[in-house]
Amino acid sequence: MTQSETPPSSDGTRRRDLLATGTVVLGCAGACALAVPFVESLKNPVANPLSDRLLDVDLSSLTPGQDMSVRWRDWPVFIQRRTPQMLAALQAPDHLATLRDADSKVLQQPKDATNWHRSVRPEYGVLIGVCTHLGCVPSFEKPGSTPEAKGGYFCPCHGSHFDAAGRVARRAPAPCNLPVPPVTFLSDTKLRIGHSAGDPGFSMSDIQQI
Ligand code: FES
């Protein structure tokens, strides 16, 4: 069985920590440096004063096909507003055949995001921007920026591709889909990160690989 076919470990964090110790320090320095400008570009809106684990985000400036990044609990969080074309691409049978976990069977998201678009509302995707391989920050591939770009994410460290729902490509080194944080829409343009109204018992510690 090749590395790319290895199923996710039930103890993924420990597996990644071991890999990180041996590989990241020596081998990833240059590639990780590529990701630094992206991390530095993250916006950091004011956290909800009631709890440092809740973050309210204004989505009113996010136009279809765009994404934005915020920081929550020291993780970058990608928020994208999907076009009808992006949503259609997520459901195309030939695309689904290229994914390792098209149906989100591995617990990488709350129950209310365990669906074909891996989000509470199909129009908005919300993903933890940490590659499930060795933890680099993937970059957004704006739809139409290249002939292949359909609004997914690419990790510069070892070349993992994720689609617009954060689902990892079958042949990528990353073992799992990008994690989805718990979110609740307070209005059509206001998103709260840190609590899932549809899965209130969900905790980020439930995630298998982050
Ligand atoms: S960290 Fe290796 S592919 Fe992302």
Tokens of 150: 């359909």
Residues with catalytic annotation? 158
For residue 144, what pLDDT is reported? Answer: 77
Q: When comparing pLDDT for 150 and 166, which is higher?
A: 166
Quick check: CB of 171 below 6 Å from ligand 1? Answer: no
Give yes or no for residue 100 having a pLDDT over 70.
yes
Q: Where is average pLDDT lowest: 28-32, 139-143, 180-184?
A: 28-32
User: CA-CA distance, 5 to 87, in Å (whole number)?
Assistant: 27
Give yes or no for residue 42 having a pLDDT over 60.
no
Choose which residue among 4, 23, 100, 136 to substitute to test ligand 1 binding: the one with the highest number of ligand atoms within 8 A of its C-beta: 136
Tokens of 57: 């985000």
- Among 170, 163, 101, which Cα is nearest to 127's? 163
**Centre of ligand 1 from the C-alpha of residue 74, in Å:** 19
Torsional sign, CA 45, 46, 48, 52: positive
**Which residues are CB-neighbours of 33 under 8 A, at least 6 positions away?**
none
- Among 210, 94, 189, which Cα is nearest to 150's? 94
Paired sense of beta strands 55-58 and 190-193, if any: antiparallel
Class of domain 10-199: mainly beta
Tokens of 23: 């590989």
Choose which residue among 100, 131, 154 to substitute to test ligand 1 binding: the one with the highest number of ligand atoms within 8 A of its C-beta: 131
Q: Could you tell me what percent of the chain has a pLDDT over 90?
A: 69
Q: Is 4 within 8 Å of 172 (Cβ atoms)?
A: yes
Q: How confident is the model at residue 52 (pLDDT cuts 50, 70, 90)?
A: low
Q: How confident is the model at residue 22 (pLDDT cuts 50, 70, 90)?
A: very low
Sheet order of strands, 183-187 included: 55-58, 190-193, 183-187
Q: Is 150 within 8 Å of 163 (Cβ atoms)?
A: yes
Tell me the average pLDDT of the chain.
Answer: 82
Q: 43 in helix, strand or coil?
A: coil
Q: Where is average pLDDT lowest: 44-48, 128-132, 168-172, 187-191?
A: 44-48
- Give the residue, by CA position, lying nearest to ligand 1 atom 1: 134
Q: How far is residue 115 CA from its own chain's centroid?
A: 15
Average pLDDT score over residue span 187-203: 96
**What does each C-alpha distance from 93 to 96, 98, 169 come to in angstroms?**
5, 9, 14
Return the C-alpha torsion angle 107, 113, 117, 121, nearest 10: -170
**How many residues does the structure list for the chain?**
210
**In the chain, domain spans:** 10-199
Residue matched to tokens 């990044």: 69
The secondary structure of residue 8, as a DSSP letter, is P
Residue matched to tokens 């982050």: 210
